[in-house]
Amino acid sequence: MSFLIKDKNFYKVLFSITLPIAAQNFITFTVSLADSLMLGKVGEIALSGANLANQLFFILMIITFGVSSAAMVFASQYWGKDDIFSMKRVITIMLRIAAVISIVASALAICIPETVMSWYSDDPLVIEAGASYLRIIGWAYPFYSITNAMASVLRSAHIVKISIIIYLSSLIVNVSLNWVLIFGNLGAPEMGIRGAAVATAVARLVECAILLIYLTFFEKKIHYTIKDFFVPVKSYLGAFIKTGAPVILNEAIWSVGTSALSMIIGHISTEFVTANSIANTIWQCVWVVVSGMGNATAVVIGNSIGRGEKKDIVLKKAETIVALSAVMGLASAIILLIIRGPVINFYEVSEATKALTYDLIISYAVILVFQAMSVQYIVGIFRGGGDTKAAMLLDVVFLWVVAIPLGAFTGFVLGWAPPFVYLMLKSDEFIKNIFSFIHLRSGKWIRDITVRPAE
């Protein structure tokens, strides 16, 4: 296997970034699992309502990820060049954009929650439950965006352990308050779905507070301060927009497209929504390492280009990562199939919903192998390499042109069973891998996109 990198330091760096991110992702998954299990005990209406209400948060989360990913494209290469001055300017642009986007999302959740819920469901009970959740959780969106964006871009400088501290604290707060507020324990009122919203909102405040304390007193590599948020960044804005806009647009269009998939599922049946919610939670359990490596890949590739490494070395690193992701995806799919039965049985849902979830996870496992590779191509290699336009086109074109029309047609017109409809809703993953491999081999994605304007 001559195409694999032999340098042990490459693997050490890759996994020293991957594993802490995977740990962070697992903690986040545990929060989702706890929410799902506890709300499942309240009933399918509460579980479906929270799941669909969180589609707005999902869009915000993905766009925030896009903004931070755009910043990471620059920050990783600047870190490779040891240019902290420029790195701080990019972080400032990122935080300002994240703040504006999150405030808009908050306004939608707080002011028109019923309208938002009507996009995803026709069931009045689900709409009512989801709206009550949105009115509360909407206040926490800005805290989430600032925390998540900043924690993400710190990875460019290989600062990853603080994320574990932040999200582990969030896990403890969220799960504890869920238990108290959802079920009315320790003398608290029994709030059901609204209790889950309060618990999550408080956890977001805790996350933000820990991040600010860390940046103020402990962070020693970048030294980003409140003052840096107000410095002039005009000289960097043009380059950020040129390279970063495709990333942000990519995530925005992709998140809306993925949300459209949830709309299709929601309008097929409430049972499909519940089954998909459970299946997705189980999928996250095995996805954490694959996703973590995608983020680590962007850092490793960006750092390599920033250091001025030869093109053939960067290409070989990318090919090695794709090979690793294929093996990791297959292993994750097998684990997913093994754990589905025991985890599904934790949920207090109907036997029909359990059976549907059991079958649906087979579709999840098939797609997972291809997802594992595509996330490395798009999120890691092409973005880290500076070719954000190709990453955007590969990620959104096939979703909108192939997956969404096929899913709607097979679900609404042909009336296929949900597991087969889901395969069609994710059919873009198969096609993306073909075109991504061709683009990878061309080497045209390897670009130094850094600028150093005089200010």
pLDDT digits (tens, 9 = 90+) for 41-84: 787 788 888 878 888 888 888 888 888 988 988 999 999 899 99
pLDDT at 277: 82
pLDDT at 61: 85
Residue position matching structure tokens 């097998």? 334
CB 197 within 8 A of CB 60: no
- Kindly state whether residue 198 falls inside one of the protein's structural domains: yes
CB 345 within 8 A of CB 354: yes
- Kindly state whether residue 1 falls inside one of the protein's structural domains: no
- Kindly state whether residue 194 falls inside one of the protein's structural domains: yes
Within 10 A of 437 (CB to CB), how many other CB atoms are there?
A: 14
- Kindly state whether residue 2 falls inside one of the protein's structural domains: no
- Kindly state whether residue 378 falls inside one of the protein's structural domains: yes
pLDDT at 452: 65
- Kindly state whether residue 124 falls inside one of the protein's structural domains: yes
Work out how many domains the chain is built from and give that number. Answer: 1
Helix 311-344 and helix 351-375: axis angle, to 10°?
170
- The CA-atom distances, in angstroms, between 170 and each of 35, 193, 284 are 13, 18, 18
pLDDT at 73: 86
Among 220, 385, 390, CA closest to 306: 385
Using 70 as the pLDDT threshold, list the residues of the chain that sit under it. 1-3, 451-455
- Kindly state whether residue 166 falls inside one of the protein's structural domains: yes
User: pTM for the complete prediction?
Assistant: 0.79
DSSP 158: T
pLDDT at 453: 61
Among 40, 412, 441, 374, CA closest to 263: 412
Q: What is the extent of the structural domain holding 66?
A: 8-442
| Sign, CA torsion 145/170/156/86 | positive
Q: Which helix (H) or strand (E) holds 394?
A: helix 388-398
Residues 6+ apart with CB under 8 A from 208: 143, 144, 146, 147
- Kindly state whether residue 451 falls inside one of the protein's structural domains: no
For the chain, the average pLDDT equals 89
